[in-house]
Structures are given as C-alpha cells and as structure tokens.
Amino acid sequence: MVGFASLRRWPSSDVRPHVNVRRAHPGESEELSVLAASAKALWGYPAQQLALWSGELRISPESIVREPTFVAEEHARLVGVTQLDTSALPWAVECLWVHPSVIRRGVGTLLLRHLVAYARAKGQTELQVDSDPNAEGFYLHLGARRVGEVAAPIEGQPRRTRPQLTLSIENAAQPFVRSPRATQARTEFRHVPFMNRAHQSASEEHPAGPRPPLVPATAREWALNANASAAILVEGWSDQAAIDALARRRGWDLQSEGILTLPIGGVTNLGAFIQVLGASGLGLSLAGLCDAAEEDYATRTLERAGMGTDLKRTDLEAMGFFICEADLEDELIRALGATAVEAVLDAQGELNSFRRFQEQPAQRGRGLNGQLRRFIGTRAGRKVRYGSLLIDAINLAQVPRALELAIAHARTSVTFCKGRGTSAA
C-alpha cells in the first residue's frame, strides 16, 4: 500500500532543501521502516491500527536488494523513500514515504520523478498504485488516473477504501504539472547543491582554465532534481552565463519556471542531449542556440533525431533552435559596439591587457570587433565572466535576436504545458 505523508498541505513558500536522491542500501532498512511508520502516523491513524500495519510498513533488507529502492537524503539524513514492485504487471509503486519533518517541500514529487525515469528506462509504459486514501490527490495531480478501489475498512472507518490508480509513463514524460498547487510544488528543488555550482553568477570569479564539461547523464540528473519542464541547450558555459544574466535583468526566474540552461560542450554533443532530455528521454521541451558555422551539423542532428526532414533555418526556429552570427559573443559585441565593450574591459581593469593583446602580430590583421571577441575568448574563465558582463551593459532593446527568442520559446513552451496539464486534470 502506498502512502504519502506530505499531502496534507502544499507549500505556501519557496522552500529550498539540499536534497539528493540515490539508491537505498540494505543496511538502511530499519531507519527507513521507522521513517515509513512516522509518515503513516502523521495522518492520525490510531496506534493500534499502526501496530497492525507494522509488517506492511517494514522495508526489509531483502526487498531493498531485490527491488529498485530510492531514498531522498538531506545533509546525510534520510527524509524519504520509495520502492517499486517489479514482480507486478505492470510494475507497481510499492511505497512512497516522506518524513514529517520535511513535508511541503516537494520530496515526494522528486522521488516519484526518479521512479518514473527508472521505469521508462526499463521499457515500462505505466505504473500501478495501490494508494492510501489520503495520498490519492497527490498522484492525481501528478498525472495518475483512478481505475477502481478496494475495500479497506479499519476500526472507526467501516467504509474506508483504497484507490487503485494508474500512472502512464507517457503522460509522466510531460512536465508534472496538473494544477496550480502542483505548479507551486515543482519549483522547490531548483537549488540543490550541484545546481548552485552549475548556475552560480557568471560575474563571480571563476578558476582559470576550462570548466568541466557537462555530460548528458549529469544533465538528466539536474533535470530530475530540478523538476524541469524545459531546457535551453547552448554550446558553452559563457552562453549559459549570458542567458542567466538576461533573465535576471528581465526579472525572470527561469529555474522557478522549470527551465534549465545546459551547456552541452559543443554542437557535436547535441544528439546525445536530445536523446536523453527530449521526447525519447525525459520528455522536456527543448530550445537552443547554435553558432552559424555549426548550423548544418545541428540541422542534420535534428533530422537524425526524428524532428523533421529537409529542415531549413525557419524550421529550426519553429522548433526553438536559433542561429547566432557568428557566435553569441560576436552578436553581443556588435550589439553593444566596440566602444561600449572597451568600457566594460576598462571597468574590469583589463583594458591595458587588451591594448597589449592588440599589438600581437596575429591580431594586427583583425578588425576591432574581431580582436575583442578573440581577447574575451582567450581564457575560459574570462569568457564565462564576460558572457554576463556584456549582458549587464547592453540596452535591453538591443539584445541579440537569437538569445531573446530562445528564452522566449522555452518560456512559451512551459506556459503551454502548464495550461495543457491543468486542463487534463
């Protein structure tokens, strides 16, 4: 039987716990069993009834070894657990419990997303749920539908029943938004520790040298932990910094809207990220930026991913993928003008370094804009930092078209999905 202790009230504030989800260990059996009993007790069941359920609430070491079991961990403390029953056809959610101390923080939603992603990867098309009556609303808001009920009377509640639910993996691949309350819940995991590191302000100091590349598996983990609905795929960290800075200036909190900006490490990785995050993976809505020199490669990648045939630039834009001429730094320099960019360099104490850079033989044949672009790109940390600084200096009416439209596409797709999810409840 599946319960969910945090359903009683959805959050009224923005809570940001540091929560990770991982596989459970058999040695955690007793702690998880106590957690399940505490969660069940929160619904006000009498002690004698809880004692009768003690066997059902126990999460044994054998079941942890045998079945996919995941825990939510906050600062090395277990705060949630969920388990599948893979012997059932279709697979069933055996349990989903959240510790009473972290109710209204979206832990249950996070755990269920992990179950859905695991089941999808194993080829499942739906999950069945034998739900506690107090938990039914939680599952319905996250896309489940009621298919029946079974009698489950207890002392004082002779007509009590347990709802029988089905959660379609196809539906679950869409953003988990089925009501305004679910929309509020989805924002609560956008600042887990690795998300903070990945999305820290690009105007802060960064170590010299290239930043570690992002791989599809890590992007998938970010998306799951952030309950993301959409992703903007960009080539590098400086592009991410520019998007984050523009969103800040516009007053948008993209992460709270369910949008991640993901540096994919170059266009050659585009196909792998689409496979993991797009329709065949997590089902996120995708947008992206691409350098002009890589447009042909990006087009062929989208075609191979089944997103169309004989695609033209207008087709790419309709999908949310926009081309920078020649790259985003070049567009920002042209939009600001060389004089304004030099003023930014001066404010950062780097104008003299740039003057010395201009005197190098390799730079003498370049125009001023080309020299600025090359100087900004000579160090990875500098390039990331200026991705934000140039946006901070630009007139918002002159923001490069590709950058503006990529963000707009992602925000529009999330709004559409929210409306569609609400209407389907």
Token reading at 333:
């320099």
Model confidence pLDDT, tens digit, residues 93-106: 999 999 988 887 88
Return d(Cα 54, Cα 59) in angstroms, integer.
10
Q: Measuring CA to CA, which residue among 389, 416, 376 is closest to residue 287?
A: 416
What residues have CB less than 8 Å from 98, skipping those under 6 apart?
4, 5, 6, 39, 72, 79, 80, 107, 108, 111
Model confidence pLDDT, tens digit, residues 14-50: 333 478 889 999 999 999 999 999 999 888 888 889 9
Query: In which residue ranges of the chain is CATH 3.40.50 found?
Result: 193-329+386-423
* pLDDT cut 70: percent of the chain above it: 83
CA distances to 134, 321, 414 from 314, rounded to whole Å, are 49, 9, 21
What is the 8-class DSSP label of residue 212?
A: P
Return d(Cα 254, Cα 244) in angstroms, integer.
8
Q: Measuring CA to CA, which residue among 249, 328, 336 is closest to residue 289?
A: 328
Query: In which residue ranges of the chain is CATH 3.40.630.30 found?
Result: 5-185
Q: What distance lies between CA 132 and its chain's CA centroid?
A: 29
Classify the C-alpha dihedral 336-338-343-349 as positive or negative: positive
Q: Is 189 in contact with 106 (CB distance < 8 Å)? A: yes
Return d(Cα 102, Cα 61) in angstroms, integer.
24
CATH 3.40.630.30 is held by the domain 5-185: yes
What is the 8-class DSSP label of residue 213?
A: P
Name the fold adopted by 193-329+386-423. Answer: Rossmann fold (3.40.50)
Q: What is the mean pLDDT of the chain?
A: 83
Return d(Cα 10, Cα 104) in angstroms, integer.
5
Lowest mean pLDDT among 22-31, 322-331, 332-341, 377-386: 377-386
Q: Higher confidence at residue 180 or residue 43?
A: 43
